[in-house]
Structure 1
Amino acid sequence: MLVCSDINLFYGSSQALRGVSMTAEIGKVTCVLGRNGVGKTSLMRAIAGQVAPRSGSIVWKDKEITGMPAYARASSGVALVPQGREIFPLLTVEENLKSGFAALPAKERAISDEIYTLFPVLRSMLARRGGDLSGGQQQQLAIARALVMKPSLLVLDEPTEGIQPSIIKDIAHVIAHLRDMGGMAIVLVEQYFDFAKELADHFVVMDRGEVVLAGPPSDFAENDVRRHLTV
């Protein structure tokens, strides 16, 4: 289980996270919801080790990782699919996928056939540059690159942003499949309630850097969640 406890995070004098606590269990999808600018991405970056909280703790599989660098977290099974995808536009699709090898021991550096089963379009595009792919294809590549790392904690920061509806459905099927396999904890950041409610086993709703609602979807009226998502 991932356990974040009382996370306070600052950028200079600006506080982005205020005493944030959350958990994410293996075999379940935890959806972090909220408007733009409420601290969702900051929380994901703190989990992945890209930014350091000023106080609080992050524990993964009973191990304190709060002070652990990002590369060490990746090697311990934490994979981040960042907002905006951040693929390498000048590298080929295959080279982008192989960049996930950095977190693996040499003997495990292979692209599983399951990657191409989940994202069949990538097999036919291995020699194409990442920057030549559509936005939806780049998002699939970003998720596939994270899966190459063989993670046990997958963090997805707004994977539906700017993506066409057909690929959103494909991504939802992939997330559901990964959850149902039972070996991975998935943290999914979303603004769109309809997408989140189809996948979420647990909601964490944020507003102004704080968690304002947390629990299984059945604990809340839909309107109680939606009012924290609308501008």
Structure 2
Amino acid sequence: MLNVTDLTASYGPVPVIRGVTFSIAKGEVVALIGRNGVGKTTLLRSLMAMLPVRRGQIELDGEAVDTLRTHQIARRGMMLVPQGRGILSRLTVGENIAAGMRAAGDRQPLPLAEALAPFPALRERINNPGGALSGGQQQQLALARAMVSRPSMLLLDEPSEGVQPNIVHEIGELIGRLARETGVSVLLVEQNIELALQAAHRCLVMEKGQIVHQGPVDELRDDAVLKRYLAL
């Protein structure tokens, strides 16, 4: 589904991402964890061509996409839900989702009713402005806006940020259900270890712009692993 090989990217002359290699299978949820500032968000941005790739290869569904522009990658089926969600606050829930349909390209976007099916709270607020929603509802809207284009790969950057603790569990359940029911693959950047444990199958650990550890997500239950890589 997604294969990344020897990826190096930078904001200037100094590389921020260095020699990153990993793969994600169809329908798999992989958590990317690490201390603040190690390059997790930069990696997501480089996968979406929001940051130039200096070296390496990115393949999506067997096709090289590392030379494409951001909108072209989205139309190939890789979508980013950014940190902070990027909701268009003055547009309604329905209008936000309709905006996501433009990323479908040659793929037929989901009908609005089908896109809203996993999100009952949004169905009830279809005409409400996006900015009037709670943090958890805005995160659901960001997911619905991404999923309406039928992506094969979903990049999620800190989906628990700004979400009440009692809603974080619902977000985790939703991510897992979307992967199971639609076959979408997910790369999840997340500081909330409980959410990563709930939603992910595997974890990647990043330090100083490099992947330093890969393994089953249950390894995050080991205090020694958390202390070594996250100083928890």
TM-score (norm. length: structure 1): 0.92
Given residue 49 of structure 2, which amino acid in structure 1 is its aligned partner? Answer: G
Q: Structure 1 pair 12/125, CA: closer, same or farther in 2 (3 Å)?
A: same
List per-residue Cα deviations over 1:37-86 (Å, max 9, x = no partner). 11111111111222221111101111111011111111111111111101
Letter in 2 for 1:68: L
- How much has 1:114 moved relative to structure 2? 3.8
User: Which SS does the other structure have where 1:90 is aligned?
Assistant: coil
**Larger CA deviation: 114-123 vs 143-152:** 114-123
Deviation string, structure 1 residues 73-118 (Cα, Å, up to 9, x no partner)? 1111111111110111111111111011112258834534343232
CA contact (8 A) 2:107 2:149 kept: no
Cα distance in 1 between the residues matched to 2:104 and 2:23: 26
1:187-216 deviation per Cα after TM superposition (whole angstroms, max 9, x unaligned): 111112222122221111001111110122
Distance 2:23 2:9 in 1: 17
- Residue correspondences, number: 231
Instruction: Give secondary structure in 2 for the equivalent of 1:126.
Output: coil
Q: Kindly tell me: are residues 60 and 191 of structure 1, through their superposed partners in 2, closer, same or farther at Cα, counting changes over 3 Å?
A: same
Whether 1:33 aligns to 2:9 is no
Q: Please show how residues 5-20 of structure 1 align to structure 2 within 5 Å.
A: 5-20=5-20
The Cα shift of 1:153 comes to 0.6
Give, in whole Å, the separation in 2 of the partners of 1:111 and 1:165.
31
Letter in 2 for 1:199: A
1:148 and 2:158 are equivalent in the alignment: no
Mapped partners of 1:29, 1:202: distance in 2: 7
Q: Distance in 2 between matches of 1:106 and 1:153?
A: 16
In 2, the alpha carbon distance for the partners of 1:190 and 1:98 equals 27
The 5 Å alignment of 1:156-171 reads: 156-171=156-171
RCO higher in 1 or 2 (8 Å CA, sep ≥ 6)? 1
**Contiguous gaps of at least 5 residues in structure 1:** none
- Relative to structure 1, is the Cα distance of residues 196 and 50 closer, same or farther in structure 2, using a 3 angstrom cutoff? same
* Distance in 2 (alpha carbons) for counterparts of 1:218 and 1:94: 38
Match of 1:104 in 2: 104
Where does structure 2 lack aligned partners over 5 or more consecutive residues? none
Q: How does 1:54-133 map to 2 (within 5 A)?
A: 54-105=54-105, 108-133=108-133
Q: What is the aligned partner in structure 1 of residue 2 from structure 2?
A: 2
Does the C-alpha gap of structure 1 residues 65 and 35 become closer, same or farther in structure 2, counting only changes over 3 Å?
same
1:175 partner letter: I
Partner SS for 1:54: strand
CA contact (8 A) 2:203 2:216 kept: yes
TM-score of the pair, normalised by structure 2: 0.92
- Asked whether the equivalents of residues 8 and 17 of structure 1 are also in contact (C-alpha less than 8 Å), the reply is yes
Structure 2 distance, partners of 1:219, 1:109, is 37
Q: RMSD over aligned Cα, in angstroms?
A: 2.0
Taking the TM superposition and a 5 Å limit, the aligned residue runs for 1:41-56 are 41-56=41-56
Secondary structure at the residue paired with 1:55? strand
Percent identical? 39
Structure 2 vs 1, CA of residues 107 and 11 (structure 1 numbering), >3 Å: closer, same or farther? closer
CA–CA separation in structure 1 for the residues paired with 2:207 and 2:189: 13
